[in-house]
């Protein structure tokens, strides 16, 4: 609902109660930039972290390592479901966010590039090898 960010100050000032508006999720920087005011004194941001190791029982540490600490992925019924959930934000970023930044390219190529870069973690980067593999 981008219209919420157009002029939220008047909506907030109509009835000043903490928690009247709770907006969940991530907001793209461009959307927040389009807000007519900074909303200083009227807005608070709370960043929620994933599960931390000390919040879990010892037997769940391996699960945390492989699935990550975000609730949907961590609490999925099985590894396959967790993997599918983990891939959703990557696909959304490639298919929606990158084009909005003017970086439109074939989704498959960007996905392969990211996977190749991730597999090289801790190794020497050879950009020409990656370029050759991508054709």
pLDDT attached to residue 25: 65
pLDDT attached to residue 80: 93
Domain identity same for 79 and 99 = yes
pLDDT attached to residue 112: 86
Domain identity same for 31 and 63 = no
Q: How far apart are CA 115 and CA 118, in angstroms?
A: 5
Domain containing 22: what range? 1-48
Domain count within the chain = 2
Domain identity same for 2 and 57 = no
Domain identity same for 41 and 82 = no
- Collapsed DSSP state (helix, strand, coil) of residue 126: coil
pLDDT attached to residue 76: 92
**Nearest of 69, 67, 65 to residue 49 by alpha carbon:** 69
Structure tokens at 57: 């029982």
Domain identity same for 70 and 130 = yes
pLDDT in tens, the chain (135 residues): 666 666 677 777 888 888 777 776 666 666 566 665 667 777 777 777 888 888 887 778 888 888 888 888 999 999 999 988 988 888 888 888 888 888 878 888 888 888 888 888 888 888 898 888 888
Domain identity same for 79 and 129 = yes
Q: pTM for the full model?
A: 0.51
pLDDT attached to residue 14: 84
């Amino acid at each position: 609902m981008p219209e919420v960010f157009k002029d939220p100050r008047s909506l907030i000032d109509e009835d000043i109660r903490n928690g009247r508006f709770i907006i969940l999720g991530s907001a793209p920087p461009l959307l927040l930039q389009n807000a007519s005011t900074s909303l200083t004194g009227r807005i608070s941001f709370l960043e929620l972290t994933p599960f931390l190791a000390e919040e879990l029982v010892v037997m769940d540490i391996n699960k945390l390592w492989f699935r990550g600490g975000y609730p949907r992925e961590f609490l999925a019924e099985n590894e396959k479901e967790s993997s599918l959930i983990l891939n959703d934000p990557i696909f959304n970023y490639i298919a929606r966010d990158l084009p909005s930044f003017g970086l439109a390219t074939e989704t498959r190529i960007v996905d392969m590039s990211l996977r190749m870069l991730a597999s090289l973690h801790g190794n020497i980067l050879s950009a020409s090898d990656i370029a050759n593999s991508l054709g």
